[in-house]
Amino acid sequence: MNYKNKKAALILPLLLAAGTAQAQNYVPGIEAIKGAAASGPGLYYKAYGVRYHADESDNLPAGSEVTVNALAHRLIWVTEQKVLDGDLILEAILPMVNTDLKVGSVMKDEETALGDLFVGSVLSWHGDRWDSVAGAGIWSPTGDDNSPASPGKGYSELMLTLGGNVYLDDAKTYSASVLSRYEKADDSDVEDNLIMEYGLGVKLSNGIEVGFAGYSEWEMGDGDSERHAAGIEAGYFWPSIMMGLNVAAYKEYSSNESFEGDQLRIALTKVL
């Protein structure tokens, strides 16, 4: 096993925070309720804080565990330009990650550093009771990748995005959303990765939105690593200060050739 494959098999790289092997920079679970519904034209800043901890794995020695703490900065520009009748969106993401990794009695490593930089574009469409998004972008190998706990991957990867959101009533009180990410590295030794994020929400009379959140992840190609999580999310937007806050907690209930743990995610959105 070469260094890149060994690293991919042992750490949970982060984005925008936690994750496992394969060609993965994107963090499953950072989006859920209305995850595939883009906002209207304007400039937005999002900060994602993620904490992931796992001490269960079916393919690592006893006593293996990982804790990842990350803060990812995301800048989003929803332009007024139309492409294929959709709003053109430009975005950039830069994460800072602390990873504390222990593999049985074989290895212990901890590092805090900037992760890989993402730059991409998205098209978003809106109907009376639906939204959809499609996009593409590149994770560039700008982050440190010198040790197993380093957040950088050491290679570039293409990330494709496709998702949809539907409102289940005319008042838009109930929503259901699915957002997919497909990552393909420019390294033939690294398998592709597919991530699906889910959200089923209800907006209460006081403006708070709550509901179910979940994610699934599969290694494509010859690999068979996968994991699945379920949880809850709550969020609120303050129009007076044009800022929103969302909190989600996940429990991974199934995994194969991967860590299995818990994740807490906080996302702050500010209209600039």
| pLDDT tier, 265 (very low <50, low <70, confident <90, very high otherwise) | very high
Q: How many CA atoms lie within 13 A of 241 on its CB side?
A: 9
* Better-predicted residue by pLDDT, 88 or 108: 88
- Mean pLDDT confidence for 43-57: 94
The percent of residues in the chain predicted with pLDDT above 90, rounded, is 70
Q: Looking at residues 57-81, what average pLDDT do you find?
A: 90
In this prediction, residue 222 carries a pLDDT of 80
| CATH number of the structural domain spanning residue 89 | 2.40.160.40
Range of the domain at 62: 3-271
Q: What is the pLDDT of residue 145?
A: 84
Return phi, psi of residue 62, to 5°: -60, 140
**Can you list the positions of beta strands (E) in 192-242?**
193-203, 209-219, 226-238
pLDDT at 59: 74
Answer yes or no: is pLDDT of 196 > 70. yes
Number of domains in the chain: 1
Average pLDDT taken over every residue of the chain: 89
What pLDDT is attached to residue 144?
85
* Strands in the chain per DSSP E: 42-57, 65-83, 86-103, 107-114, 117-126, 130-140, 157-167, 174-185, 193-203, 209-219, 226-238, 243-256, 259-271
Q: Is the pLDDT of residue 266 over 60?
A: yes
For residue range 10-19, list pLDDT tens digits in order: 333 332 233 3
pLDDT on residue 20: 37
pLDDT of 175 above 80: yes
d(CA 153, CA 111): 14
pLDDT of residue 17: 32
Q: How confident is the model at residue 7 (pLDDT cuts 50, 70, 90)?
A: very low
Q: What's the one-letter identity of residue 269?
A: T
- 250/189: higher pLDDT: 250
Q: Using CA atoms, how far apart are residues 180 and 155, in angstroms rounded to an integer?
A: 22
Mean per-residue pLDDT, 227-252: 97
- How confident is the model at residue 132, as a pLDDT? 98
Question: pLDDT tens digits, residue range 24-34?
Answer: 789 899 999 99
- For residues 259 and 20, the answer to whether their CB atoms sit within 8 Å is yes
pLDDT of residue 189: 84
Nearest to 197 by CA among 177, 219, 226, 225: 177
Which residue bears the tokens 């991957």? 153
SS3 state at 4 = helix
pLDDT interval class at 209 (50, 70, 90): very high
**H-helix segments, the chain:** 3-10
Q: How confident is residue 1, by pLDDT bands cut at 50, 70 and 90?
A: very low
Kindly tell me if the per-residue pLDDT of 151 is higher than 80.
yes
